[in-house]
Amino acid sequence: MRIGELSERTGTSRRLLRYYEAQGLIVSSRAPNGYRDYDEATVDRVMQVRGLLDAGLPTRIIKQILPCLDKPRIIHFSDATPEMLATLEHERDRMSDRIECLIRNRDAIGEYLDAVRAKRAGTP
């Protein structure tokens, strides 16, 4: 697929897709006319990258852990430094904090909706 289709399917700008490619987060082949050509798996990869970026991970860390996301049961880092491990632990903990906050917010919204619906049901 060409970059325009990948952009539409992932909701990611073409410029950002080119940046991901420059950072080594996604890859493309080149058609004879020079256009980028992405395979179907790139859609999932872009969504993974976006999710990790949204979680606050820097691209240099994302690049290192992306190979592990293809086969999560076969994780091997031959070059995992103590700094990288500490960074990943920190980011994991930040994600956990965000998840807890999102759950609290979701539950509060749910309670609000329940209260509003109950009030409406009791009002003629």
Q: At what angle do helices 14-22 and 41-54 cross, to 10 degrees?
A: 90
- Which two tokens mark 52? 């990790």
Maximum CA extent, the chain? 69
Whole-number Å distance between alpha carbons of 25 and 44: 12
- Which two tokens mark 87? 């960074």
17-59: pLDDT as tens digits: 999 999 999 999 998 998 899 999 999 999 999 988 888 888 8
Task: Mark out the alpha helices in 55-81 (DSSP H runs).
Answer: 59-70
52-77: pLDDT as tens digits: 888 888 888 888 888 777 654 455 56
